[in-house]
Structure 1
């Protein structure tokens, strides 16, 4: 979610091209950048552009910085384009249009605050830098950390004041001679959807941040701004990343306000259908695709597959489907409903155990090793959790990624550790560690009674919330199956 004028940390996640507009309508061309770095700290400078809104990969063009701090690069753009100027670990916003020839200067130690532009295209990029300095860099204009503490009236006053100041600066600077219609549309959208996004997400964000209070009850008119249809379907805002983010948050809002929660199996299907039915124009497939990407990571694998098949009709030019299909293939192995990899391992007493032997039971898997202080600290909590669920239809399976078998056996048998304990020979290089993509320990998985993934990042053993999470997980596999399209749950 976006909570400020510019999405925090959005630097390297370069903002959108005119990705959803028909290719034939884009004026393609070249942008050149010549510049000098004072106090060189890196050997290269780059411009990053994301060609497709559903593809996290950027197209990055690099140029060497010589001993005098000079560089020159040329970038191909498909029409007006939001991009990033990257130097070392610092980033500055760019707005590029075919034919621009920019002269750029900045200090190597502080790109964002010192960047200056001359030449063709200098005005819009200077404006972006000044907007960043006036609003993004000033805490008083940010939702976090202080302004989120306001109650509804105070928060709305903050949003209204920030938008008024942004518009005042915009109207006092922008003219039609030096700023294209594309840039004016982009900046108008950034201001409008900064406001809309922060207002829409305020209630949820405040509940997360202000832990000492419950969820605020909003006045009946708080969400009335969403009745403005031009806010929802706004082709002129297509270049704004905040507009895309707002639409995603909007379909989340529609789903939750109609009684659906993120924890429900059908949540992403509901969001997908709402995006499909409520949106129009080039934004429609983008937001549908964004919901699909969420479903790939947090939804049921068979629901995701069914939605992906349906998506093809919404993408007749095949702009997004190949990317989504690739994304699905990457994530489906660990999606909810995907079968967890089976294994055969030995217990400390020499008995053979397989995952299949626990079919019909909820399985909480704890990957650990005896040399991990964090994993050892969880052992007392694990014992308490096992005691709490004694006699319930759940198995606590502890898989040690230890190469030192005697030390593991001594700890398990000597301390009489509860639960099922097995060891994977080869430790972090073992087949099971690779099958479950274990990077470090402790790592946890919660499996449904049918042996499928229910949660690939459940609450850790030492978390109080683990108890409620486990209680809510019994029978969840059949709940998911009941929400699948006909024939998909088999």
Structure 2
């Protein structure tokens, strides 16, 4: 559907290909047959994510025969958004139980050449034409030129885009037979694309236009949020734009109440807002989305407490198992989780453990002498060590080097500051596995109690690294004081 600010800003997660989560739609099968003219790959795939909180997609593959023809059958629980994938190209699909689609396209241009016949063709032809008229048309995209506009110009752009999208949909619906489910989906995508872009404009403009301060909006700019029907729309649950809008609305409420994303209790506040402000089938979805954010950026104990509370909002157990699995995947490196201890040999020949730095902030730097990027950071490491000399912080540098003499020579000749350690075995070493390292340089910021504060802090060469380190002192106790009290 129409380009949205969320696509430009890269907010949160990738777009969710959601499906109906209610039981009012019958389960069934979709049959897709087709032909690829001038095939460039041997298989076609359709991916569906029926549960909006499930990171895993249901992918069905079909192999092309010698003529480029294929056939596949896909089981779905109701009307579903999906992706048709061929080689590196992808196009939107909308599938309903009982659809029998015939698909044809050119192997080198799926999205621009795809054509549909059969039951369900009207809806998918609409999606293809919307892509051509709006998504591929720069005049309707949210680009930096539009984001740099002031309020009147941006609102004029949004209003014009929504008017054109509505007119296009109404004309198409008059000439083609569309199902009620698809009509609801298409209308929701238009309405919530507008609402989401308007809601997030002020924040995004502040990020994009670095030469100006935060834009001050007129008193009536956010009046569209007074329309309560925006937040309780049972017919829009399938729309990923509806869900994205509601998540951003919860963020808006939290920040409007003076809570910053960097606050220890930010995701707790968002969770409680979603719980109290939303209703219907979409409520547990948005609560779950906030939980997934907390798993990645919040404190592990806060996440654990909220996850336990979530069970009462999910009586059918549709989302809790997925969230529990997601939590288990991320908790090892969540804020507040203990960093893996290690015992390594220093350049001086003594054994050093992480636990020996208890009571100090620790900046961990994993590097190796053969990494150009890591070597470029060395002068900045020396500068940071000087800036924080005498402060309650230690810079621990762990070289993942197989060549011990080369490492020792570099550390000694350059008089590298901080604690200099080496992990024998390099990327195959126990410490590399414990910290799930995939490449170097890699950085971790640890609190005085040995727990993670940030698993992706600013690089040593970043100007923002100094401010980030300054804010790290005493942060562990700040998080602890913000933790919810668990009833005994």
> Which category describes the TM-score, using the shorter chain as reference length?
over 0.9
The whole-number CA distance in structure 2 between the counterparts of 1:390 and 1:200 is 45
Q: Which runs of structure 2 are paired with 1:321-336 in the superposition (5 Å)? A: 321-336=320-335
Correspondence for 1:269: 268
1:249 maps onto 2:251 in alignment: no
2-side partners of 1:344 and 1:90: how far apart? 48
1:433 and 2:432 correspond? yes
8 Å contact from structure 2 (residues 3, 135) kept in 1 = no
How far apart, CA to CA, are the structure 2 residues paired with 1:309 and 1:162? 43
Contact kept in structure 1, 2:35 and 2:105, CA below 8 Å: yes
Q: Is the 8 A contact 1:80 1:95 kept in 2?
A: yes
Are 1:82 and 1:95, in contact at CA under 8 Å, matched by a contact in 2?
yes
Question: Partner of 1:304: helix, strand, or coil?
Answer: helix
Aligned match of 1:56: 55
Which aligned pairs between 1:21-36 and structure 2 lie closer than 5 A? Answer: 21=22, 23=23, 25-36=24-35
The CA distance in 1 between the partners of 2:485 and 2:117, in whole Å, is 61
* Kept in 2: contact 1:7–1:242 (CA 8 A): no
**Separation (CA, whole Å) in 2 of partners of 1:64 and 1:240:** 30
Which residue of 1 is the match for residue 225 of structure 2?
Answer: 226
- What is aligned with 1:214? 213
Partner of 1:258: 257
Matches within 5 A, 1:100-249: 100-175=99-174, 178-249=177-248
> 1:344-383, aligned counterparts within 5 Å?
344-383=343-382
CA distance in 1, matches of 2:125, 2:413: 69
CA shift, 1:145, in A, is 3.1
1:146 counterpart SS class: helix
Alpha-carbon distance in structure 2 between the residues aligned to 1:52 and 1:225: 30
Give the superposition deviation at 1:216: 1.0
Residues of 2 paired with 1:12 and 1:419: CA distance? 39
Give the deviation of 1:76 after TM superposition: 1.4
Range moving further from structure 2, 174-183 or 45-54? 174-183
Find the aligned partners of 1:258 and 1:391 in 2 and give their Cα distance.
38
Distance 2:386 2:106 in 1: 61
Q: Work out the CA distance in 2 between the residues paired with 1:159 and 1:35.
A: 37
Match of 1:15 among 14, 17, 25: 17
CA displacement, residues 157-179 of structure 1 (integer Å, 9 cap, x when unaligned) = 10000000000101111039611
Does the 8 Å CA contact 1:48/1:84 hold for their aligned counterparts? yes
Quote the Cα distance in structure 2 between the aligned partners of 1:189 and 1:379: 52
Compute the displacement of 1:296 (Å): 0.2
Alignment map for 1:457-476 (pairs within 5 Å)? 457-476=456-475
Per the TM alignment, residue 3 of structure 1 is displaced from its structure 2 partner at its CA by 5.4
Q: Residues 13 and 152 (structure 1 numbering): CA distance in 2 closer, same or farther, change over 3 Å?
A: closer
Q: Tell me the equivalent position of 1:4.
A: 4
Structure-2 separation of matches of 1:156 and 1:372: 48
> Unaligned stretches of 5+ in structure 2?
none
1:5–1:190: 8 Å Cα contact kept in structure 2?
A: no
TM-score calculated relative to the size of structure 1: 0.96
Q: How many Å apart are 1:12 and its aligned residue?
A: 9.0
Distance 1:5 1:464 in 2: 28
Contact map agreement 2:6 2:197 (CA 8 A) in 1: no
Q: How far apart are residue 146 of structure 1 and its match? A: 2.1
Q: CA RMSD for the aligned pairs?
A: 1.8
Counterparts of 2:36 and 2:144 in 1: how far apart (Å)? 33
Q: The residue matched to 1:175 in structure 2 has which SS?
A: helix
Which moves more between the two structures, 462-471 or 345-354?
Answer: 345-354
CA distance in 1, matches of 2:209, 2:375: 32
Question: How far apart are residue 60 of structure 1 and its match?
Answer: 1.1
**Structure 2: distance between partners of 1:6 and 1:329:** 28
- 1:83-98 correspondence to structure 2 within 5 Å: 83-98=82-97
Give the TM-score normalised by structure 2. Answer: 0.97
Alpha-carbon distance in 2 for matches of 1:316, 1:266: 26
Show CA shifts across 1:380-417 (max 9, x none): 00101110111111001101111111111111112211
> C-alpha distance in 2, partners of 1:380/1:3?
43
Q: State the partner residue of 1:453.
A: 452
Shift in Å, 1:57? 0.8
Q: Does the 8 Å contact 2:50/2:80 carry over to 1?
A: no
- Structure 1 residue 7, shift from structure 2 partner: 5.0
Deviates more, 1:234-243 or 1:171-180: 171-180
5+ residue gaps, structure 1: none
**Equivalent residue for 1:388?**
387
